[in-house]
Structure 1
Amino acid sequence: MDNIIEKTISGFIMLLAIMGVLIFLPAWTANYLQAWLYLLTFAISTILITIYLFKNDPKLLKRRLNAGSTAEKEKSQKTIQAIANVFFCFIYIIAGFDHRFHWSSIPIYISILANIFVILGFFIVFLVFKENSYTSAIIEVDRNQKVISTGLYAIVRHPMYSGAILMLVFSSVALGSYWALLSVAALTFTIIARLLNEEKFLSKNLSGYDEYCEKVQYHLIPFIW
């Protein structure tokens, strides 16, 4: 358990540090209120979810620590994750340059409102974690894993991705950048490629998944796709 806590804390600090560098270095200033508010929103949301998992589902927390392209077992997912990581980084890099060169003009109150939607995205991810203890950060199937069809899974097949995309879309606005939405769009298509590949994997390796897909037809957005 101590090892999990250590890895969680170090991983969290590393992530925030990387995000800070990706944002503030291109911006070339620390006088970037939208960035500070966003990082605070991101940090608090992540901490609250982590505390919940630590108290209620430490096994899931451990699964979430094994993440990234190098952790993926499927070759296709390694490639997809590597591409996703690049687009994720570019969201913050572009936002930083946008702030430096004033490409976008987003009022501070719009950025604050966007942070509320960032929190909503995190909340959707939290509901997924609460509903599905097998939500690994990589594509795999546990020996005792069962198909989850309750909660948000009764609406769309990949509610965690839905929440993540919502969070990312409004992240760019929270940072005061419309141009960063280009990278969000590219990342969204990468996520779609990931989930379609994931569905093929689950169809082969998770009993009952085909029946679940027949019941729940929408991948990400209810009544649309």
Structure 2
Amino acid sequence: MTSQAKGQRTLVGYYLQLLLWMVFMAVVTFLAAGTLAYPAGWIMIVLFGGGGVALIAWLSRRSPQLLRERMSSPIQKGQEGWDKVWLSLFVLAFCLWFAFMPWDAARSNFTAVPLWLQVVGALLVLANYAGCFWTFNVNTFAAPVVKIQEGQTVIDTGPYALVRHPMYSSALLLFFGMPLLLGSWTGLWGALVLSIALAWRSVNEEKALRRQFVDYDDYSRRVRYRLIPYIW
């Protein structure tokens, strides 16, 4: 099998992996909601599916190595030990939170959150994907786990000139956009908990970065904010 054929086979595998995740999301969403008549749920599935397809297609040309990292297991070789525990718990918490929101929205017959705020939520989800594209464009080492990769350097351009963890900043938009889109006020409390967990991870991730890169301290002095410009 030629390298091109292997690459195409691998790419098909990535799309199948995304499809399985979309099916899982759909099953959880509509089972929790108790109905298929849930427009916000369908919109969310379309946004996640469309964003996932776009990222896979773009990264397969921009950086196949980064795509491989992003689609890999959340437990990897070389990953910080504490991050294996953190990420396992985070994924579990995310899935429980994700299942709760459609159920919570159904309790009010999907009318608790006004339509205009649901639109804002959808825009925040889209902004998350825009942030991901921007980050991946300047940092091809943006792995989903905390580990140091061969050839990795400190990046200080693009979104990294604004905050030290732009992927996490983008995730905050997703965390608060999803409850608004799905119509769950209580889900915003879950978004806050996930955001605090992500902030904790950023602090501990920087300890690993400082051990590896002598210029990280200088970078952190130039870019003062971790996640939110002018705040923290």
User: TM-score w.r.t. structure 1 length?
Assistant: 0.93
Map of 1:57-136 to 2, 5 A cutoff? Answer: 57-68=63-74, 70-71=75-76, 73-102=79-108, 105-136=112-143
Distance 1:180 1:5, change over 3 A: same
Deviation (angstroms), 1:203: 0.7
Map of 1:41-56 to 2, 5 A cutoff? Answer: 41-56=47-62
Structure 1 Cα separation of the partners of residues 8 and 47 of structure 2: 26
Distance 1:30 1:158, change over 3 A: same
Equivalent of residue 32 in structure 2, options 8, 17, 26? 26
For 1:9, what is the secondary structure of its paired residue?
helix
Question: Structure 1: which amino acid aligns with 2:197?
Answer: T
| Structure 2 residue aligned with 1:190 | 197
Unaligned runs of 5+ in 1: none
Deviation (angstroms), 1:208: 1.8
Moved over 3 A (4+): none
> Number of paired residues?
224
Structure 2 Cα separation of the partners of residues 156 and 175 of structure 1: 28
Structure 2 Cα separation of the partners of residues 115 and 176 of structure 1: 11
Aligned-residue Cα RMSD (Å) equals 1.6
For 1:167, what is the secondary structure of its paired residue?
helix
User: TM-score w.r.t. structure 2 length?
Assistant: 0.90
Equivalent of residue 139 in structure 1, options 141, 146, 161? 146
Cα deviations by residue, 1:24-62 (Å, 9 ceiling, x for unpaired) = 111111111111011111211221122111122111111
Cα deviations by residue, 1:100-154 (Å, 9 ceiling, x for unpaired) = 2118611334312321121011101110000101111111112211110011101
For 1:86, what is the secondary structure of its paired residue?
helix
| Structure 2 residue aligned with 1:170 | 177
- The structure, 1 or 2, with the larger RCO (C-alpha pairs under 8 Å, 6+ apart) is 1
